[in-house]
Amino acid sequence: MILQRRPGVEGIGVRRRGWNPGRIDPARALLITVAGGCAAGSLVWTLLVGFVEPHAALAFGVLIAAGELARITLPGHREVAPIASAGAIGYAFLLSVGGVTATHSAWQVIAVVTLGIALGELPHIAVGREPRWSDLARRLLIVEITALVFRPFVHEVPPDSEHWWLVVAVMTALVAGAWLVDAALAATIRAERLHTRISVAFGDELRAQFAIGMAIGSSGMLIALASTVTGLVGLLVFTAPLLVTQVAFRRFAEIRLTYLQTVRSLSRVTEVGGYVETGHSRRVSRLARLIGCELGMRESELLELEYAALMHDIGQLSLRDPIAGGATVLASPREQRRIAELGSAVIRETGVLDAVAELVRRQCEACEGDGDDGPPPLGSRIIKVANAFDDLVGESRDADRIEAVLQRLRMDAGREYDTDVVEAAARVLDRDRARR
């Protein structure tokens, strides 16, 4: 059975459904409810009993607000506010200010952090940036846990105690525990949103948050300990290194974003030149990424897969006459292999995308492999399925046509196409249709 491409009104994947900050999933709803309820209770309690040591509360509140205002978004849509988080941890760990014992309660810590975050969010809301409630709730919940565990025992460990090392050990343990809890919460939300394995998501979060998490935790501890001697001046002194770190992370995120935008622009060359249908590369990339999530690929592997899927047809630029409709699945195996190899050669010229080039080179191989190299990488097998699906379906959203194409892929599964990849694609497409 040969299916020809049939244009429609809007293809699967034209509307990006991957990340939606406004959608509330069960895990996110529970997180926001718990963190928000604790914050509201702390505000009411603190207003009733009054603030103690208002100068310190004001100084830390301003620092948290400024840090929230200067928050950054890291790769993977991870929103962090290093200065605000370090200031909040420092206030939770505060033992004394210039030798005067800090007696504020855990509830006051939560209230000050809540007010600081709210003030820092106001400018973002004023310019139309919708808050990422789950990220805000995670930052708030970590401080709530830290303060509720640490503050009740502050009066039992005076700042001049000879057992200062024990206090530092407790702070370190709490920072490490908070970091693990935060990674677990982020992984749960990520697994729910992307339909990937929670163990894979947890590993991705640990790798993504390790450097910034350690910088935040250590800075928060230093702020608390330094304030014992220097007073509130320690806020400025020990926030400066974190500010430099934040700038470095921001530049890294911007470079990563620019890199992806460049690859996306390059992938459109084949569309502009008339070699493939408009939107083909974006649709293949989106479907391939969703299949990769379904199969439990790590975040770094998903990024390489996204790059390779965007540029999988770039080898068609070498063709004298474009393939009808750009559907390489209808080309001869020899022509498919030539396109893949030429595309791989072009990508290798960058000098930094060798892994991506290898995925593109082997995308046309059968699932068992064509030579002595063994089966092609999982990414190549995913691109083969995603490309074949879009070549045959195109922009059509007709359910019967989609099912017919899936049945055709299943008929060739085990020979041309990887069975697990085909079934993963079917599950992804079922969820996609169910969302409409």
pLDDT > 60? residue 18: no
Spatial distance between the Cα atoms of 237 and 416, rounded to a whole number of angstroms: 62
pLDDT grade, residue 24 (50/70/90)? low
Residues 204-227 pLDDT 10s: 999 988 888 888 898 899 888 888
Mean pLDDT (whole number) for 134-151: 93
pLDDT grade, residue 12 (50/70/90)? very low
Q: What pLDDT score was predicted for residue 4?
A: 45
Q: What pLDDT score was predicted for residue 10?
A: 38
Mean pLDDT (whole number) for 79-100: 90
Percentage of the chain modeled with pLDDT above 70: 91
pLDDT > 80? residue 422: yes
**pTM of this prediction?**
0.81
Mean pLDDT (whole number) for 326-339: 80
Q: What pLDDT score was predicted for residue 180?
A: 93
Spatial distance between the Cα atoms of 147 and 135, rounded to a whole number of angstroms: 19
Which of 28-37, 53-62, 105-114, 234-243 is least confident? Answer: 234-243
Q: What pLDDT score was predicted for residue 6?
A: 42
Mean pLDDT (whole number) for 107-121: 95
Question: For residues 111 and 43, is the Cβ–Cβ distance under 8 A?
Answer: yes
Q: What pLDDT score was predicted for residue 368?
A: 84
pLDDT grade, residue 5 (50/70/90)? very low
Question: For residues 68 and 119, is the Cβ–Cβ distance under 8 A?
Answer: yes
Domain ranges within the chain, ordered by starting residue: 26-255, 268-435
Question: For residues 422 and 385, is the Cβ–Cβ distance under 8 A?
Answer: yes
Average pLDDT taken over every residue of the chain: 85
Percentage of the chain modeled with pLDDT above 90: 43
Spatial distance between the Cα atoms of 309 and 326, rounded to a whole number of angstroms: 15
Q: What pLDDT score was predicted for residue 62?
A: 93
Distance set, CA 127 to CA 10, 124, 304, 368 (Å): 31, 5, 34, 53
Q: What pLDDT score was predicted for residue 65?
A: 94
Question: What does 88-155 look like in DSSP terms, one character per residue?
Answer: HHHHHH--EETTEEP---HHHHHHHHHHHHHHHHHHHHHTTPPP-HHHHHHHHHHHHHHHHHHGGGGG
Out of 1.10.150.120, 1.10.3210.10, 1.10.1530.10, 1.10.8.640, select the CATH number for domain 268-435.
Answer: 1.10.3210.10
Amino acid of residue 367:
C
pLDDT > 50? residue 22: no
pLDDT > 80? residue 43: yes
Mean pLDDT (whole number) for 60-76: 90
The CA-CA-CA angle for residues 297, 404, 16, to 5°, reads 45
Q: Note the Cα 167 to chain centre separation in Å.
A: 34
Q: How many CB atoms lie within 10 A of CB 418?
A: 24
CA dihedral 67, 72, 74, 80 (to 10 degrees): 30
Residues 279-311 pLDDT 10s: 888 999 999 999 999 999 999 999 999 999 998
pLDDT > 50? residue 377: yes
Per-residue tokens: 214: 């350690």
Question: For residues 137 and 31, is the Cβ–Cβ distance under 8 A?
Answer: yes
Q: What pLDDT score was predicted for residue 163?
A: 67
pLDDT > 60? residue 23: no
Spatial distance between the Cα atoms of 165 and 13, rounded to a whole number of angstroms: 55
Mean pLDDT (whole number) for 331-345: 85
Q: Please report, in angstroms and rounded to a whole number, the separation of the first and last CA atoms in the chain.
A: 29
166: CB partners within 8 A, 6+ apart = 157
